[in-house]
Amino acid sequence: MKKAFSILLIISMLLGSVNIVYGAPQEPQLIGQSAILIDATTGKILYEKNSHEQHYPASTTKIMTAILTLENLQLHDKLNIDEEASFTGGSRIYLLEGEDVIVEDVMYGMMLESANDAAVAFAKNISGSVEEFAKRMNQKAVELGALNTNFVNPHGLHDDAHLTTAYDLAMIAKYAMKNETFRHFATTYQYTMEATNLQDTRYFYNTNRMLYDDLHTVTVNGEVRGCKYEGITGIKTGYTGRAGGCLVAGARRGNTELIAVTLASTDMGRFQDCITLLDYGFANYKTVNALESGQDLGTVPVSRGAVKRVQVILPDKVDATLPAEASENLLRTEVELLDSVEAPVMQGQKAGVVRLYAGDELIGEYDAVTAEDIDRGGWLSIVGVPDSTAETIRNLVLAVVALLLLLLILYVLVKRRQVKIRRLKRQQREAKYRMLKEQERARWDQEYWSSRN
């Protein structure tokens, strides 16, 4: 198989077009009616089965409840536990009305024990009522890319109108796993909640068998194996009689992190489904770093700017999902920058796009942005002269004007001296002329009187 792949790759390269051809991997055999597998980093869908079909999510609902709690409350905030929360049915940690508890302890209860009373406590402390909190859940779901979700409560107890899809849960989980605090709760196996003013110490254990359970077995591709999974990162279980077995599971191996979702499965089937999906993903795909954050993409001219050009960079690193056997050398980029941007320019302003390809296949398109702020330039920027050059020109003009003034002053001084010298010489000539005239008159008088005598 590898030899055949190498031959195909060489032929493709010789023809000048890199189209990757792989044998289609065997599709996962699942119990659940709906499922999806995505690359948690890139969001690429690696496998799906009825992924947009609506089902009851059961306690996988609590992923959204946890997101909103972590974004609206602090871990050491005290919670008000009222009668409604304390009497919530199903899985619970038996919160009592008036009990002194903090967000952190109750979050462990919700994420490990799947406590419904904990979910209601969060909803009411954040929004005042379950109904108002559900509105916030749905708004957030849309923001995260959910297409067919309608939450009516924070816990997932059955309601005919409480529906979501495998795809939507994958988008919600992808977002949740960017939060390191959520990751911590999702991967914790056991937690001890210290005694409160109303109850003794409580011990919580995670319901996700993939974190710890080697005793219960499932059959994956004909192989009987324990539920514990290498590299597991959580995330959340769910089960009701109407929903069946539900599970959102994440795992990481090396640089590749995956999220699997199965809905409408069975109690043990949900673990079998997610193990099957994750095995399929790790066997056939990998995540690679394609572009680094801050990568220099060139410069763009700035119209009316204090400088003529602005540097353009890639704001965030870009990862790509490739077939497991594919070479990273297949990745290539095309950078298309704007002809110009007009000042003032803000740092992070879009200045072009970067297209990432694997061979001839377009993987994604990403914004190229300006690396710095550029102020609007002075009057010379109209003709494309940057402020630094304009400053040089201004200084040069001032120097020339100063020189001309100096030369003018010197010219005036020289002229005045010349006038003074000419006046002096004229006065000297006039004085000499008068002296000669007087001498001539004296001589003439002497001769006159001499002739009379």
Active-site annotation holder among 114, 127, 265, 381: 114
What's phi and psi for 196, nearest 5 deg? Answer: -110, -170
Side chain identity, residue 382: I
Question: Which whole number is the average pLDDT over 120-137?
Answer: 98
Q: Would you say 8 and 27 are in contact if contact means Cβ atoms under 8 Å apart?
A: no
pLDDT value at residue 19: 41
The answer to which of 87-96, 258-267, 368-377 has the lowest mean pLDDT is: 368-377
**CA distances for 373 relative to 22, 59, 297, 335, angstroms:** 47, 47, 17, 21
pLDDT tens profile 233-242: 999 999 999 9
Residue in this structure with the two tokens 């890639």, named with its chain if needed:
314
Contact residues for 194 (Cβ-Cβ < 8 A; gap 6+): 105, 201
**CA distances for 61 relative to 143, 236, 237, 279, angstroms:** 16, 9, 9, 25
Taking alpha carbons only, the member of 151, 105, 118 closest to residue 132 is: 151
Active-site annotation holder among 34, 51, 62, 265: 62
Q: Tell whether the model's pLDDT for residue 438 goes beyond 60.
A: yes
- The whole-chain average pLDDT of the chain stands at 90
Q: Tell whether the model's pLDDT for residue 21 goes beyond 70.
A: no
Contact residues for 175 (Cβ-Cβ < 8 A; gap 6+): 67, 144
Confidence of residue 267 (pLDDT cuts 50, 70, 90): very high
Cite the residue boundaries of each domain of the chain with CATH code 2.60.410.10: 292-383
Contact residues for 34 (Cβ-Cβ < 8 A; gap 6+): 49, 50, 51, 53, 55, 165, 166, 262, 263, 264
Q: Return the exposure string of 343-377: e unless at least 16 CB atoms fall within 10 Å of the residue's CB, then b.
A: bebeeebebbebebbbbeeebbebebbbbeebeeb
What's phi and psi for 109, nearest 5 deg? Answer: -65, -40
pLDDT value at residue 6: 38
Q: Quick check: is 62 catalytic?
A: yes
Tell me the chain's radius of gyration from C-alpha atoms.
42
pLDDT value at residue 89: 95
Q: Tell whether the model's pLDDT for residue 145 goes beyond 60.
A: yes
Q: Tell whether the model's pLDDT for residue 113 goes beyond 90.
A: yes
Taking alpha carbons only, the member of 267, 276, 277 closest to residue 245 is: 267
Side chain identity, residue 22: Y
Q: Return the exposure string of 170-191: e unless at least 16 CB atoms fall within 10 Å of the residue's CB, then b.
A: bbbbbbbbeeeebbebbbbeeb
What's phi and psi for 444, nearest 5 deg? Answer: -65, -40
Confidence of residue 382 (pLDDT cuts 50, 70, 90): low
Question: Which whole number is the average pLDDT over 408-425?
Answer: 85
**CA distances for 168 relative to 157, 161, 162, 174, angstroms:** 18, 16, 13, 10
pLDDT tens profile 162-180: 999 999 999 999 999 999 9
Q: Would you say 106 and 114 are in contact if contact means Cβ atoms under 8 Å apart?
A: no
Confidence of residue 384 (pLDDT cuts 50, 70, 90): low
Q: Tell whether the model's pLDDT for residue 280 goes beyond 90.
A: yes
Residue in this structure with the two tokens 């005793």, named with its chain if needed:
215
Q: Tell whether the model's pLDDT for residue 392 goes beyond 80.
A: no
pLDDT value at residue 18: 37
Confidence of residue 391 (pLDDT cuts 50, 70, 90): low
pLDDT tens profile 192-226: 999 999 999 999 999 999 999 999 999 999 999 99
Q: Tell whether the model's pLDDT for residue 341 goes beyond 80.
A: yes
The topology under which CATH files domain 292-383 is: Peptidoglycan synthesis regulatory factor (PBP3), Domain 2 (2.60.410)
Residue in this structure with the two tokens 């001219």, named with its chain if needed:
301
Q: Tell whether the model's pLDDT for residue 15 goes beyond 90.
A: no
Taking alpha carbons only, the member of 151, 166, 129, 160 closest to residue 67 is: 151
Q: Tell whether the model's pLDDT for residue 393 goes beyond 60.
A: yes
The topology under which CATH files domain 24-288 is: Beta-lactamase (3.40.710)
Give the distance, in angstroms, between the CA of residue 211 and the centroid of all CA atoms in the same chain. Answer: 30
Q: Tell whether the model's pLDDT for residue 381 goes beyond 80.
A: no
Side chain identity, residue 444: W
Q: Tell whether the model's pLDDT for residue 402 goes beyond 90.
A: no
Confidence of residue 420 (pLDDT cuts 50, 70, 90): confident
- The DSSP string of 157-226 is ---TT-BB-HHHHHHHHHHHTT-HHHHHHHH--EEEEPP-SSS--EEEE-S-GGGT-SSSEEEETTEEEE
pLDDT value at residue 5: 36
pLDDT value at residue 417: 85
**pTM of the entire structure?**
0.79
Side chain identity, residue 297: L
Confidence of residue 444 (pLDDT cuts 50, 70, 90): confident
First to last CA, the chain: 155
Confidence of residue 356 (pLDDT cuts 50, 70, 90): very high
Cite the residue boundaries of each domain of the chain with CATH code 3.40.710.10: 24-288
- What percent of the chain clears pLDDT 90, i.e. is strictly above it? 75
Question: Which whole number is the average pLDDT over 248-265?
Answer: 98
